[in-house]
Amino acid sequence: MMNYWITVVDDDAMCMANTKSILTERNMRVSCLRSGVNFMSFVSATS
């Protein structure tokens, strides 16, 4: 089985939490970020 690492970018905290919950239930690793700027920093730090 392939392991997935999903990054969710959304400024709506409830939407982000719901999405994380759904994906986590499906055994996916989830990182949540509030903006595109945060995403770019996250990608730079994890590569």
pLDDT (tens, 9 = 90+) of the chain, 47 residues, equals 568 899 999 999 999 999 999 999 999 999 999 999 999 999 999 77
| CB 38, CB 10: distance < 8 Å | no
What is the biggest distance separating any 2 CA atoms in the chain, rounded to whole angstroms?
32
Measured CA to CA, the distance from residue 27 to residue 39 in angstroms comes to 22
Count how many domains the chain has: 1
- Please report which residue ranges of 1-47 form alpha helices under DSSP H: 13-25, 36-46
In which residue are the tokens 């939407």 written? 15
**pLDDT for the residue numbered 1:** 59
Q: Which domain holds residue 26?
A: 5-46
Give the pLDDT confidence score for residue 46 in this predicted structure: 78
DSSP label at residue 30: E
Residue 2 is predicted with a pLDDT of 64
